[in-house]
Chain A
């Protein structure tokens, strides 16, 4: 990756420091084992994983650019890039993740008050508490602003009643950042941003099974849940602005996930050769599939080049913009296509569900193919992203402007 001419002595000194620190603290047994992390959002507990998480958490380098005052790394974007390079070089990976890091933390740093930041940011930095996102409701998906979960002002506390759905990780989460309705007379301006402790009486979660067989998300019910007054983030009725910002962080994170080359999976051309064979000149023997693999590889290259270009262009640390919408659709489509190609390459072996007769890679391929279908639905569906591109970037009229 280019250094954009910032390779001054200060940066060199930091590089040496980072290399040194990583050498001392990264357990070599975990080399290249970040795949699990990418899948689960949290590294497995115990052993070297624990050691590594503690070390990174205390150093603040899992959230490298977050302020030191709240336990973050306090690094400049340049330094963070150097840190990433040094980590890549030795097969190290970031053990601090999840929705707290990806979406909630950056949003709270921007909109939270001092007390909220001091209380909630450090446990995220150290991966001690898990957060879930209580936005969607049965009747409010793409049209998120139509959400109904009621939040009443009871003087010394808020009283919350309603139902959320598709709440990822709610069954394991300690806290929920939630959108609630504090005013029924206005659509967007009647929404507020509230933090709810999942252990509060009246909070109930029911896991929902996905087509991929696992149950990573829930229906979440709030029945007369009392929430302390200080858990309101931003002004009353100001939740929509905060939510929009948070969704930008979510989307940029997701397009990044789209860039992950399929956790641990072999590259497509290699996979195709091993399942289908090759001709005398090293070409994948199925020419039709070969053309489609080539096309996906090239799209992948184009995607990567775009990621690099936008990084270079965003040199200054302004955070994600509406342009990230392009990356989400491009990245998720690319990965879904890869998953389809992987199944096709594996043939009937790629359709194994469980039990004998299949390698773990084959069993994994079918599950991630299915699970991956969600990436064009959550975080703003593919269609909603396209609407955003049409409206905000292309300046086309919005047929929904009345709502």
Chain B
């Protein structure tokens, strides 16, 4: 665990208490079984906003607390532990980062206070296929009148149904895979020509496909400089990936602890199954990986807070290491529980499904291993 300030410790303790009491896994299960249309419970999210969680990285001038990414990571780790479903990732982390890094004064004053208050859910609409490929943009934004007309389709937009604000990548010039020529736009979800379709994924969270049919926006909708959106988007995505990694770490830690408890209580052959070395060594391996993953996640978040130049490689490292770890732990959780782990009534399946969804979000392990290698020049 990173060395925390007193404020950070308090924040983490508060987050732990709240998630354990108000948002345990059973609450997620209930939400899932109720078929909640948004993939989360708005009342629960309102409580989170009330506690100030939606404004942790937002400057005080815009209604936030400016506590930084490591602090937000502490909260996300706790929500990851209990699989708390909420738009925190999409809005308080990703959309807020986009506005903080790329927003004009006017854009920030318009949107950040609403995001900090939890009044508006923001999200990124960047991918266009089944895989995270942010540089691959076919969606077009053409100059028209004083503004732009956007046409195209985005896939797997987090909280796509709940979102009031979408940060859309669109091409103002260049070919489909050019880094140059990508621009980012702030598009209100109720703009004419925006239509969305909810998707039902295995992890039961809110995701949608969104299409833009000649959506007209003003010049003030442009986030950052025209044609230079790729670099900005990468910075935003790295912040989102780091925060997501913290959430994944939380899920992995909890999946591990639940499994460890089972190893200590389930009796077969007259002894607890945790007495079998075949399982002991695998538990030790998981613990080792979790410790390594934690170092990577905390280093990435700290680097962001310090605006250090090695953010991209530390983020690639964190997302990969925690992705591999969560992959392993979620599989072992099922396997070590035996038959009971295969039942829907047990939590193991919930962690397993969430694990694969988060692994794929903002680039899986293979994507980030490749990215890491390229950044290191091999």
Interface, chain A (partner B; CB < 8 A) = 136, 139, 141-143, 146, 165-166, 208-211, 213, 275-276, 286-289, 292, 343-344, 346-358, 366, 370, 373-374, 376-378, 381-383, 386-387, 400, 403
For B339, give the chain A residue with the smallest CB separation. A166
Q: Say which residue of A210, A344, A373, A400 sits within 8 Å of B331 (CB atoms).
A: A373
A303 to B270, CA, bound (A): 35
Interface string of B192-231 (1 = CB under 8 A from A): 0000011111111001010000000000000000000000
Q: When the two chains form their complex, are residues A350 and B269 in contact, meaning their CB atoms are under 8 A apart?
A: no
B109 within 8 A of A: no
Interface centre among A142, A351, A355 (most CB of B within 10 A): A351
A276 to B131, CA, bound (A): 8
A400 to B267, CA, bound (A): 13
Given known contacts A143-B269, A355-B199, A403-B270, A344 and B130 CB-to-CB distance under 8 angstroms: no
A371 to B344, CA, bound (A): 11
Residues on B with beta carbons closer than 8 Å to the beta carbon of A211: 334, 342-344, 346, 348-349, 352-353
Minimum C-beta distance from B341 to chain A (A): 7
Given known contacts A348-B201, A357-B199, A382 and B335 CB-to-CB distance under 8 angstroms: yes
- Dominant secondary structure at the B interface: mixed
Please tell me which stretch of B58-66, B71-79, B98-106, B363-371 contacts chain A, meaning at least 4 of its Cβ atoms lie within 8 angstroms of it.
Answer: B363-371
Residues on A with beta carbons closer than 8 Å to the beta carbon of B203: 351
For A139, give the chain B residue with the smallest CB separation. B267
Residues on A with beta carbons closer than 8 Å to the beta carbon of B127: 348
Residues on B with beta carbons closer than 8 Å to the beta carbon of A358: 199
Residues on B with beta carbons closer than 8 Å to the beta carbon of A387: 278
Q: When the two chains form their complex, are residues B343 and A141 in contact, meaning their CB atoms are under 8 A apart?
A: no
Given known contacts A352-B199, A403-B270, A209 and B130 CB-to-CB distance under 8 angstroms: no
Q: Say which residue of B130, B155, B339, B366 sits within 8 Å of A136 (CB atoms).
A: B339
Given known contacts A351-B203, A373-B334, A403-B270, A208 and B345 CB-to-CB distance under 8 angstroms: yes
Q: Say which residue of B335, B344, B357, B369 sits within 8 Å of A376 (CB atoms).
A: B335
Which residues of chain B (274-315) have a CB below 8 Å from chain A?
276, 278-279
A403 to B268, CA, bound (A): 10
Minimum C-beta distance from B241 to chain A (A): 15
Q: When the two chains form their complex, are residues A355 and B200 in contact, meaning their CB atoms are under 8 A apart?
A: yes
Given known contacts A351-B201, A357-B209, A210 and B343 CB-to-CB distance under 8 angstroms: yes
Besides A143-B268, A288-B365, 7 more A-B contacts (Cβ < 8 Å) are A141-B268, A213-B344, A286-B367, A288-B370, A349-B130, A373-B342, A374-B339
Q: When the two chains form their complex, are residues A400 and B349 in contact, meaning their CB atoms are under 8 A apart?
A: no
A343 to B199, CA, bound (A): 17
Q: When the two chains form their complex, are residues B366 and A288 in contact, meaning their CB atoms are under 8 A apart?
A: yes
Given known contacts A142-B268, A208-B345, A211-B344, A351 and B331 CB-to-CB distance under 8 angstroms: no
